[in-house]
A and B are shown apart, each in its own frame.
Chain A
């Protein structure tokens, strides 16, 4: 049996209730082996609960879940020996040092005394924590905690790693460090299932994404597929000279094969595009014909827009207890604005 021809996670009709709360309410998931699978959802969507069931920490109330071919209820030990979980909140002994925590986990997974020591040192080195190795974990910064927590999860490199909101609350540098770690894990052959409430994180990191809300999967697919579901993006063009607009419209219609919308701004026009590929050629046509473009932007629908289209409201909008801001959209927009500014200057 090889990893390649099986699903890493196979969940159907999963239900988990806490009293009256249906935290997970009929989730279906098919996670292919290899790569990163993103579970995207706002606060209280049921991400943590789903992951805890998959990691055998909670027993489901309904439905079935198989992880790496093993049933999470009946074959919990087989699952445990091949998966690892980095929970949403740090789960190490804060009184112990980083080294001691890792040695402890290595010993519990069968490493001999000296091998455990070596493994701990190697991991701390790889996660840039050698300096803090001897310090109690409670003295670590948020980013260091996240890293040691992930390191603790790969003392024995797992075939499947669950990462529950690995970057929530991290600064951009720590965030990108965690992203690098995830990419390295995947390159090493580990399947990563991560949850996030950051839309750009799922977009950039995950090969496939499941969007969940109120304990249900409301959409699933690659980031591109999700965007396509909502309709393509749009090419927005602004010209220097309003007189050139009719010609520009004609050229773009010809190049992209779709009608052009003339906007109320006399120098602006937009074209709905489902595929970005012919766009550069279309813009090149304009330049060749002497139409002077002052600025353009290719508006890929963001996952925010996807969320909006799927649910009719922005992510996390209905959650009163939402204390973690969704920075996905604002970041994306900032990036877009920066790109525009650059083009403007050029």
Chain B
């Protein structure tokens, strides 16, 4: 048999003569082994799609994982609106107009951490060994998984928005504004997930991945303009809030939803997405290819 790797349809028609072991399984086994099909390497896009499909299958088989994703935003929205709404604004309903875009961002930013967790689990279970030993486009495993997770982010986002509408959230930007805000947020979440991927690969246990991710994300979400207007904060904190990427995303999402967005606000978000992708994607790939 020639062993060049050229994929050819004729390979399909070239069964290898194989003496059959004398049992039933052996017979069928020789039949599957006889197929020396070597299909052409899948395109980068198709490989990403396959990994994305896997992420979706996970949701089907482990629906519990959606519980965190849905319970958390519902809790946060209700709690902040009614617990603090009166104190932080004139009424819960007024506060909701301000707060809902922010809670949307914080909810989804939290969920992005699970991407790193899933990666860590794959490494521990040896799934990544199998994947890494395949001749596919290298970033496909990560990019595909992250794209699959975007579906999860969208689900949680829709839930928060639906809840907000039910509670009296009335975006001035209308449906288009909300959809655009969601798209910007998904782009940012995808970019942010690279950071958690690094933790997922460098740290040993899922607990430490979650712990470290929290440590990074908590100050970012609370030291932002999600919950209150930063003008009441001390100067040094305002300075932090001003450079915090989460603040920029919240500002843009709020602006798009209420139709007050400026090009500059959007520009900041795109800049942050670019920075996250340019810096953290290569680091992630480097770690992934390390052997």
At the interface with chain A, which of B2-10, B189-197, B213-221? B2-10
CB-CB contacts of B1-34 with A at 8 A, as 1s and 0s? 1111101000000001011110101101111111
Q: In the complex, are the beta carbons of B41 and A110 less than 8 A apart?
A: yes
Looking at A105, A125, A157, A190, which has the most chain B CB atoms within 10 Å of its CB?
A157
Q: In the complex, are the beta carbons of A104 and B16 less than 8 A apart?
A: no
Bound-state CA distance A90–B35 (Å) is 24
Q: In the complex, are the beta carbons of B133 and A84 less than 8 A apart?
A: yes
B54 to chain A, nearest CB (A): 6
Q: Which of the four size classes fits the interface of chain A?
A: 35 or more
Beyond A81-B41, A188-B30, is A96–B57 a contact (Cβ under 8 Å)? yes
Contact of B130 among A92, A115, A183 (CB under 8 A): A92
Bound-state CA distance A181–B46 (Å) is 31
Asked if A122 is at the interface of the complex by the 8 Å CB criterion, the answer is: yes
At the interface with chain A, which of B79-87, B99-107, B121-129, B258-266? B121-129
Asked if B240 is at the interface of the complex by the 8 Å CB criterion, the answer is: no
Collect the chain B residues with CB atoms within 8 Å of residue A94's CB: 125
Residues of A46-64 whose CB lies within 8 A of B: 52, 55-59
Contact of A96 among B5, B23, B37, B54 (CB under 8 A): B54
Collect the chain B residues with CB atoms within 8 Å of residue A59's CB: 291
Asked if A2 is at the interface of the complex by the 8 Å CB criterion, the answer is: yes
Looking at B31, B129, B131, B133, which has the most chain A CB atoms within 10 Å of its CB?
B133
Collect the chain B residues with CB atoms within 8 Å of residue A108's CB: 42, 47, 50-51, 131, 134, 136
Collect the chain B residues with CB atoms within 8 Å of residue A125's CB: 28, 32
Looking at B2, B4, B57, B62, which has the most chain A CB atoms within 10 Å of its CB?
B57
Collect the chain A residues with CB atoms within 8 Å of residue B286's CB: none
Contact of B129 among A80, A85, A104 (CB under 8 A): A85
A116 to chain B, nearest CB (A): 9
Asked if B58 is at the interface of the complex by the 8 Å CB criterion, the answer is: yes
Q: In the complex, are the beta carbons of B32 and A154 less than 8 A apart?
A: yes
Beyond A1-B3, A108-B50, A183-B21, is A56–B35 a contact (Cβ under 8 Å)? no
Looking at A92, A93, A190, which has the most chain B CB atoms within 10 Å of its CB?
A93
B137 to chain A, nearest CB (A): 10
Contact of B57 among A3, A100, A156 (CB under 8 A): A100
Beyond A104-B50, A126-B28, is A136–B33 a contact (Cβ under 8 Å)? no
Asked if B36 is at the interface of the complex by the 8 Å CB criterion, the answer is: yes
Asked if B204 is at the interface of the complex by the 8 Å CB criterion, the answer is: no
Contact of A110 among B30, B32, B40, B122 (CB under 8 A): B40
Beyond A91-B127, A127-B25, is A109–B31 a contact (Cβ under 8 Å)? no
CB-CB contacts of A167-185 with B at 8 A, as 1s and 0s? 0000000000100110111
Q: In the complex, are the beta carbons of A57 and B133 less than 8 A apart?
A: yes
Q: Which of the four size classes fits the interface of chain B?
A: 35 or more
Bound-state CA distance A184–B135 (Å) is 25
Looking at A55, A91, A104, A184, which has the most chain B CB atoms within 10 Å of its CB?
A184
Asked if B39 is at the interface of the complex by the 8 Å CB criterion, the answer is: yes
Bound-state CA distance A94–B118 (Å) is 13
Write the chain B residue with the least CB distance to A106.
Answer: B39
Beyond A2-B2, A180-B23, is A90–B133 a contact (Cβ under 8 Å)? no
Q: In the complex, are the beta carbons of A136 and B132 less than 8 A apart?
A: no
Q: In the complex, are the beta carbons of B126 and A107 less than 8 A apart?
A: no
Bound-state CA distance A110–B291 (Å) is 25
Asked if B222 is at the interface of the complex by the 8 Å CB criterion, the answer is: no
Residues of A105-157 whose CB lies within 8 A of B: 105, 107-112, 115, 119, 122-123, 125-128, 136, 152, 154, 156-157
Q: In the complex, are the beta carbons of B129 and A123 less than 8 A apart?
A: no
Collect the chain B residues with CB atoms within 8 Å of residue A187's CB: 18-21, 30
Asked if A333 is at the interface of the complex by the 8 Å CB criterion, the answer is: no
Collect the chain B residues with CB atoms within 8 Å of residue A123's CB: 32
A292 to chain B, nearest CB (A): 39
Collect the chain B residues with CB atoms within 8 Å of residue A109's CB: 39, 41-42, 134-136
Write the chain A residue with the least CB distance to B127.
Answer: A93
Bound-state CA distance A77–B136 (Å) is 9
Bound-state CA distance A181–B30 (Å) is 9
Residues of A73-98 whose CB lies within 8 A of B: 77-78, 80-85, 87, 89-97
B167 to chain A, nearest CB (A): 35
Asked if A159 is at the interface of the complex by the 8 Å CB criterion, the answer is: yes
Contact of A56 among B2, B3, B41, B133 (CB under 8 A): B133
Q: In the complex, are the beta carbons of A82 and B58 less than 8 A apart?
A: no
Bound-state CA distance A127–B24 (Å) is 10
Q: In the complex, are the beta carbons of B3 and A177 less than 8 A apart?
A: no
Contact of B33 among A80, A177, A185 (CB under 8 A): A185
Sample (25) of A-B pairs whose CB atoms are under 8 Å apart: A57-B132, A68-B3, A82-B3, A83-B133, A91-B130, A93-B58, A95-B61, A105-B134, A107-B42, A107-B46, A107-B50, A107-B53, A108-B51, A109-B135, A156-B38, A156-B39, A157-B32, A157-B37, A177-B25, A180-B21, A183-B21, A184-B30, A187-B20, A188-B18, A188-B33
Contacts A95-B57, A126-B28, A154-B33 known; list 5 others, CB within 8 Å: A1-B3, A56-B133, A95-B61, A109-B42, A157-B32
Q: What are the 9 A-B residue pairs with the smallest beta carbon separation, nearest first?
A: A110-B39, A91-B126, A188-B33, A126-B28, A80-B135, A81-B135, A107-B50, A126-B29, A184-B29
